[in-house]
Amino acid sequence: MTEHETKPEQQPPSPPKEDVLDKLPSPDGNDASLLNLALHSLETTSKLTEHQDAKATAVLRGSAFLAALAGGGFAVFFPKTATGGTMSVVSAFKYMPCLEALVFTLWCLAFFAYVVLVGWGAYLVLKALKIKFNIREKWKTQQVDRPHSLIFAFLIGSMDKAAWEKYWAEHHSKIPHVYLKHAVDEIHAVSEKLVTKVGELNEGFDKLLLAAKVFVAWAILLALRVLLF
């Protein structure tokens, strides 16, 4: 290298990004209430998620019962032609009086709409109930000597058992503070997932509720067929 050549300036290493949760106090003495509050909040959020899952399961059970009732009623009360063949909407106007054929046509269309809405709503609810994890971007790097979370079982289970035990043995004095940080982060992660799940569940519930209304209309048309014709 000549004396006119200069060495390229080396950029100083960028300081690690500050985690705002590092400002939390270590939960010792009076500050232990912070950890208790965080754990209570996490428990409440998790129970709310479980409550939504239980509610969705109950709605699916009710929808399955109505679907079985509608399918049975459709099979039993579906008319046959004089020759024993299957009646179609087109042939109904040939074999039935005009008013009866019209009611029969509306009855078939209501059943078709009900099946579509039940299938659509059930799909949306099952999609919302699908097991999904809210994985933070910072959690996607490999865990070597310290876990990304002391709470999230999926991350704990993906860490080497020896490294997990070593972390607890060597950093036990810092663990309460780290646990508080992870608890606060986990509360928000679960809450974000809950907001998304509730939105998807409500969309499915709307379709199932509309299907229930169509079922009532279908049942009324069935009653008209049975009582008047």
Helix or strand run (H / E) with residue 42: helix 32-77
Burial of 188 (0-12, 13-18, 19+ CB in 10 A): middle
How much of the chain, in percent, has pLDDT values that exceed 70? 79
Q: Is the pLDDT of residue 29 over 60?
A: no
Where residue 171 falls among pLDDT bands split at 50, 70, 90? confident
1-14 in b/e form (b: 16+ CB < 10 A) is eeeeeeeeeeeeee
Question: Considering the domain boundaries, does residue 130 fall inside one?
Answer: yes
- For residue 77, what are the CA distances in angstroms to 23, 45, 67, 83, 96? 70, 48, 15, 17, 15
Q: What was the pLDDT predicted at 18?
A: 58
* Residue indicated by tokens 């309460």: 176
Question: Considering the domain boundaries, does residue 154 fall inside one?
Answer: yes
* Total number of domains in the chain: 1
Question: Considering the domain boundaries, does residue 204 fall inside one?
Answer: yes
Q: What was the pLDDT predicted at 178?
A: 87
Q: What was the pLDDT predicted at 113?
A: 96
Q: Is the pLDDT of residue 125 over 90?
A: yes
**What average pLDDT does range 168-176 have in this prediction?**
84
d(CA 206, CA 105): 26
Q: What was the pLDDT predicted at 92?
A: 65
Please give the structure tokens belonging to residue 10.
Answer: 């080396």
> What residues make up the domain containing 218?
45-77+88-228
Question: Considering the domain boundaries, does residue 18 fall inside one?
Answer: no
| Residues 38-66 pLDDT 10s | 888 989 988 988 999 999 999 999 999 99
Question: Considering the domain boundaries, does residue 13 fall inside one?
Answer: no
d(CA 204, CA 211): 11
Q: Is the pLDDT of residue 217 over 60?
A: yes
Q: What was the pLDDT predicted at 75?
A: 85
Question: Considering the domain boundaries, does residue 8 fall inside one?
Answer: no
Question: Considering the domain boundaries, does residue 146 fall inside one?
Answer: yes
Q: What was the pLDDT predicted at 226?
A: 81
Where residue 134 falls among pLDDT bands split at 50, 70, 90? confident
More confident residue, 34 or 181: 181
| Residues 181-206 pLDDT 10s | 889 988 998 899 999 999 999 999 99
Radius of gyration of the chain (CA): 31
Question: Considering the domain boundaries, does residue 94 fall inside one?
Answer: yes
**What's the pTM value of the predicted model, to 2 decimals?**
0.73
Q: What was the pLDDT predicted at 32?
A: 66
Please give the structure tokens belonging to residue 1.
Answer: 């290298």
